[in-house]
């Protein structure tokens, strides 16, 4: 007895042809595995060339930050601002207590 693969049929005659989705269609859908994989691959950190690493080693931290597009301060952000504000208030209280 031979084993035949079951096939879907419309009615009794015509077989439904299920075509495989094209890669472009899969990449257009943001929830598909292929598009998520491609996005992750693009966002993955690229390795620096040896010449760039040598040049960056001789730069100062300030130059590296400005070159990378950062503000120019090593420690920026809302938490750093909050800490600076609290420290300034503490200094003012100490000065007021001394006087």
- Tens digit of each residue's pLDDT (9 = 90 or more) over 27-80: 888 888 999 999 888 888 788 888 888 887 788 877 877 777 766 556 667 888
Q: How far apart are CA 9 and CA 92, in angstroms?
A: 84
Nearest Cα to 38, choosing from 52, 21, 23?
Answer: 23
- Tens digit of each residue's pLDDT (9 = 90 or more) over 66-93: 777 766 556 667 888 899 899 999 999 9
Residues 6+ apart with CB under 8 A from 27: 34, 35, 38
Range(s) of the domain holding residue 69: 49-99
Same domain, 56 and 89: yes
Same domain, 58 and 96: yes
Looking at residue 16, the DSSP 8-state letter turns out to be P
pLDDT on residue 26:
83
Please list the residues that pair with 15 across neighbouring strands: 9
Same domain, 67 and 81: yes
């Amino acid at each position: 007895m031979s084993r035949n693969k079951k096939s879907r049929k419309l009615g009794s005659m015509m077989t439904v042809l299920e075509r495989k989705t094209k890669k472009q269609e899969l990449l257009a859908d943001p929830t598909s595995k292929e598009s998520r994989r491609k996005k992750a691959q693009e966002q993955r950190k690229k390795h620096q060339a040896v010449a760039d690493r040598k040049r960056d080693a001789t730069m100062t931290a300030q130059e590296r930050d400005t070159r990378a597009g950062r503000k120019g301060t090593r420690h920026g952000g809302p938490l750093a601002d909050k800490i600076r504000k609290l420290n300034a208030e503490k200094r003012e209280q100490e000065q007021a207590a001394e006087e």
